Copies of this chain bind each other. A is one copy, B any other.
Amino acid sequence: MATIDANPASGTRDFLPAEVTRREQAFATIRRAFQGHGFEPLDTPAFERLEVLTGKYGEEGDQLIFKILRRGEHEATGEADLALRYDLTVPLARVVARYGSQLPMPFKRYHIAPVWRADRPGKGRYREFFQCDVDTVGSDSLVADAATIVAVADVLDALGLSGFRVQLNSRRALAGLIEAYGVPPELEGEALTALDKLDKVGAEGVARELVDRGLPTAAVDTLVADLGSGDLEGRVRERLAASDEGRAGLAEVDELVALTGALPGGELAYSPVLARGLSYYTGPVFEVVHDDLAATIAAGGRYDGLIGMFQGQDVPATGGSLGIERILLLLEQAAEGRAAPGADVLVTLMDDDGRADALRLAQRLRGEGLRVDLYAGRGKLGKQLKYADRRAIPLAVIRGAEERDAGRVAVKDLASGEQDTVAEDELVAHLRRALEA
């Protein structure tokens, strides 16, 4: 027994109290903000029948699915019949197929939950991590797209992450642009994949990759000239105005910008070459970046072909996803060193005769709305005060036989080390004052 490794499984994490507290606070903020926008919570099981998940994430994704062995007499077959949730979109599609008419339409839901992927663990890459999705199913209206962006912006603002930029584009405008550059339709996917790396590798890097992927040199040269022109948007608008698809895409972008209006906590702008892993997006796409944090903290778009996968028909849908693990890490860094207090007050234990009194006192203070820890061990006062310090509890209540007889209580301020003795009926007021100080 003693030789068993006590670490969590590779790629997973234990969350100790201070971390759980911070994560729960962030989740509560997110829930409150999404609910303020009329989105409702959904929850689905950690595992699905294997056939629900396989074939949905491409060959590479399928390799990363955690499969669950059959049980009992079937265990020996070595076969799997269940698998851990890989994302929150396939479960949403299943729920829409299963409960369709029971759901209000449009169905506006958010889902904050862990997913599991058998990726190689690395810095910031886990095998168990949370996703935080918000989606509107059953509406092809741009109002739904605008409402998603406004809700995501509100959530980020509520989390204290203001100062972000929402970069917006449309799949249709992009298609028009690719056409305008003279890229053959069969190379559109290649062009989008290369463009997606603009932030990482710059215009020259994208150009090299486009050529490597077989795009016509003339098209690549024109694109690179536009990117370096200092007025990318102006040039792109001109090019898009030349085709039906381009004009329609541009109209979609402009309408969405007008609908969305001023955002809480950030800015919104048309980003003419934003591509965003376009394989399933069908309409507007967006990405929220934060310059100070050098990170994409949310993204999303319209994907009308995905949610109907179990019904064999298209169901319009649009949504967004917060980069919640990255956001939690940023909040964690921001909170560095400031541990959340484990309670307002620690009631200490002085002698065996005082134990029942201490339990009553703790319970009375709780009745006044205070969060009260009672020392549950057998240590001396010094050890108890160290325990309070460790748990960032600011005040300790101390009451030996002498104080009990005199109807008094000593209160120690852990930060200053000061100790006052007050009458029992003044205790609550004294604690409140000390907590506010």
A residues contacting B by CB (< 8 A) are 1-2, 4-9, 12-17, 20-21, 23-24, 28, 31, 35-38, 40-49, 51-52, 63-64, 66-69, 71-72, 75-80, 82, 84, 94-95, 97-99, 102-106, 108-109, 114, 116, 118, 128, 136, 138-144, 146-147, 150, 154, 258-261, 264, 309-312, 342-343, 346, 349, 355-356, 358-360, 362-363, 366, 370-378, 387, 390-391, 393
Q: With the chains together, A379 CA to B101 CA distance in Å?
A: 16
Q: Distance in Å from the Cβ of A256 to the closest Cβ of chain B?
A: 10
A38/B342 in contact, CB under 8 A? yes
Among B42, B71, B260, B358, contact of A66 (Cβ-Cβ < 8 Å)? B71
Q: Distance in Å from the Cβ of A109 to the closest Cβ of chain B?
A: 7
Q: With the chains together, A187 CA to B12 CA distance in Å?
A: 44
A138-B377, A141-B378 known, 17 other contacts, Cβ within 8 Å: A4-B52, A4-B310, A9-B47, A12-B45, A21-B41, A35-B343, A36-B370, A37-B366, A38-B343, A68-B68, A136-B376, A139-B377, A142-B355, A147-B359, A147-B376, A150-B363, A264-B363
Given contacts A9-B48, A46-B114, A139-B378, contact A20 B41 (CB under 8 A): yes
Q: Distance in Å from the Cβ of A300 to the closest Cβ of chain B?
A: 14
Q: With the chains together, A271 CA to B116 CA distance in Å?
A: 46
B42/A9 in contact, CB under 8 A? no
B95/A82 in contact, CB under 8 A? no
A17/B2 in contact, CB under 8 A? no
Q: Give the residues in chain B near A356, CB-CB below 8 Å.
A: 258-259, 261
Among B63, B98, B109, B371, contact of A72 (Cβ-Cβ < 8 Å)? B63
A366/B79 in contact, CB under 8 A? no
A312/B2 in contact, CB under 8 A? yes
- Interface majority SS on A: helix, strand, loop or mixed? mixed
Q: Give the residues in chain B near A23, CB-CB below 8 Å.
A: 43
Cross-chain pairs A/B with CB under 8 angstroms, 27 sampled: A1-B312, A4-B52, A8-B94, A9-B47, A9-B49, A12-B45, A14-B44, A15-B42, A15-B44, A16-B102, A20-B40, A24-B41, A36-B370, A46-B114, A47-B84, A47-B116, A66-B68, A106-B375, A106-B376, A106-B377, A106-B387, A108-B373, A141-B376, A143-B376, A147-B374, A150-B359, A261-B359
Which 10 pairs of residues, A with B, have the shortest CB-CB distance? Answer: A78-B78, A38-B373, A17-B40, A12-B45, A2-B312, A6-B98, A144-B376, A20-B41, A6-B97, A15-B43
Q: Give the residues in chain B near A75, CB-CB below 8 Å.
A: 67
A38/B346 in contact, CB under 8 A? yes
Q: Give the residues in chain B near A41, CB-CB below 8 Å.
A: 17, 20-21, 24
Q: Distance in Å from the Cβ of A81 to the closest Cβ of chain B?
A: 9
Stoichiometry, as copies per complex, reads: 2
A146/B38 in contact, CB under 8 A? no
Q: Give the residues in chain B near A2, CB-CB below 8 Å.
A: 310-312
Q: Give the residues in chain B near A146, CB-CB below 8 Å.
A: 355, 359
B258/A6 in contact, CB under 8 A? no
Given contacts A4-B52, A104-B391, A371-B35, contact A17 B47 (CB under 8 A): no
Q: Give the residues in chain B near A12, CB-CB below 8 Å.
A: 45-47
Q: Which residue of B lies closest to A2 (CB)?
A: B312
Q: Give the residues in chain B near A118, CB-CB below 8 Å.
A: 71-72
Given contacts A37-B372, A52-B4, A373-B38, contact A143 B44 (CB under 8 A): no
Q: Distance in Å from the Cβ of A106 to the closest Cβ of chain B?
A: 5
Q: Which of A45, A48, A98, A141 has the most CB of B within 10 A?
A: A45
Q: Give the residues in chain B near A17, CB-CB below 8 Å.
A: 40-42, 109
B342/A105 in contact, CB under 8 A? no
Q: Distance in Å from the Cβ of A318 to the closest Cβ of chain B?
A: 9
Q: With the chains together, A318 CA to B80 CA distance in Å?
A: 38
